[in-house]
Amino acid sequence: METIKIMGTDDTPTVILDAENDIFEISGRSLPEDVTAFYDPILNWLDEYAANPNPKTIFTFKLVYFNTASSKLLLDILMKFEEMRENGLDVLIKWYYPEDDEDMQEAGEEYADIVDVPFEQVSYTLS
C-alpha cells in the first residue's frame, strides 16, 4: 500500500498513513480551504487499508485546532474505524489534547460517545 505523508501548514494538518511502519496520525491544525479535497484521499486510503489491515491499528489524533467543516470529516474517518471494528478488526483511537485545552478534550469525548471504537484520551503539555 502506498504511504501518505502530508506535511502540515498553518491551515492543514500533518497526515501520516504508513501501514508498513504502523504509523497512522493526523496532527496540527485543520482548517483547509477545501476540506473535502483535503480529506478525500485520506478516506480513500482508509477504504483500501480496511481491505487488508494490520493485525492492530492505533490511530493517533493530535490536533490543536479544527474548524467545523473538518469536524465532519474527522467523524467520517472515525466511522471508517467503526466499520473496521464491526468487521472484527483490532482498532484503538488515541486522542491527544493539550492539558489546558478543555475544548479539544471534550471534542475527543464527544467523538468517543458517537462511534463504537475504543478511545484513549491522552493529555500533554505544550512546549
- Domain extent listing, the chain: 36-124
Condensed to tens digits (0 to 9), the pLDDT of residues 36-49 reads 999 999 999 999 99
Q: Tell the burial category of 105 from Cβ atoms under 10 Å away from its Cβ (0-12, 13-18, 19+).
A: middle
CA pseudo-torsion sign 60, 64, 68, 70: negative
Q: How many helices (DSSP H) and strands (DSSP E) are in the chain?
A: 3, 6
pLDDT given for residue 31 in this prediction: 97
CA 76 distance to own-chain centroid: 10
Q: At what angle do helices 35-51 and 68-86 cross, to 10 degrees?
A: 10
Mean pLDDT, the chain cut into blocks of 10 residues (127 residues total): 96 98 97 97 97 96 97 98 96 96 96 97 87
- To the nearest whole number, what is the mean pLDDT of the chain? 96
